Amino acid sequence: MKYYHMNIAGLDRDLPICPLNEKISIAGFVLLGDYELTEACAKALLTKLPEHDYMIAPEAKSIGLINEMARLSGQKKHFIARKAMKAYMTDPLTVSVKSITTKSTQTLYLDRADADMIKGKRIVIVDDVISTGESLAAVEKLIEEAGGEVVCKAAVLAEGDAAQRSDIIFLEELPLIFND
């Protein structure tokens, strides 16, 4: 297997190169299970955030990151845009999304109780990687439907063209890898 070497939040990591199709590969970035990197990224991202009331992340790879960011900042509550309807959810908001790393269209869900807490609040969206921005846009739509205000969109890595966006903050650029 081939790897792409990066320094992220002061830590060196070798990311496995994973083909998306015949022309493009990506360096697979997974924070889950890497507590050292999760903590370092959480600390670094927190220094870049504006004032906010709550944070939200899409399920699932960003859950550890947002948990650590909330712990370090002393925030008692944050939200997860779920990828499946759960029995405890009542009248959830829903948005469909097609991400670069998933094969089919997904639906994101936000419980009505969470949506009610978001109403009128300043919200930061947190993700591990922003690539096409589709997941980000879906979470942003959930927040808008809930009546919240997105004050920041933050990620550990911005992949490909996302690194040129002026509406996100991120720690490092992650290039797309074009196959020969």
Q: pTM for the whole thing?
A: 0.92
Q: How high is the pLDDT of residue 133?
A: 86
Closest CA to 108 of 88, 134, 132, 131: 134
Burial class (CB in 10 A: 0-12, 13-18, 19+), 135: buried
Confidence (pLDDT) at 112 = 95
- At residue 99, the pLDDT reads 60
Q: pLDDT truncated to tens, each residue of the chain (180 aa)?
A: 899 999 999 999 999 999 888 999 999 999 999 999 999 999 999 999 999 999 999 988 999 999 999 999 999 999 999 988 888 889 999 998 766 555 667 789 999 999 999 999 999 999 999 988 888 999 999 999 999 999 999 999 999 999 999 999 999 999 888 887
Strands 149-159 and 122-130: parallel
* Alpha helices in 83-156, H assignment, sequence order: 112-118, 134-146
Cβ–Cβ < 8 Å for 54, 75: yes
Q: Which residues contact 112 (CB under 8 A, 6 or more apart)?
A: 89, 90, 91, 92, 93
CA 46, 49, 53, 59 dihedral sign is: negative
Instruction: Calculate the alpha carbon distances from 173 to 54, 113, 164 in Å.
Output: 26, 36, 9
**Which CA distances in Å does 67 have to 63, 74, 89, 141?**
6, 10, 20, 22
Q: What is the pLDDT of residue 58?
A: 94
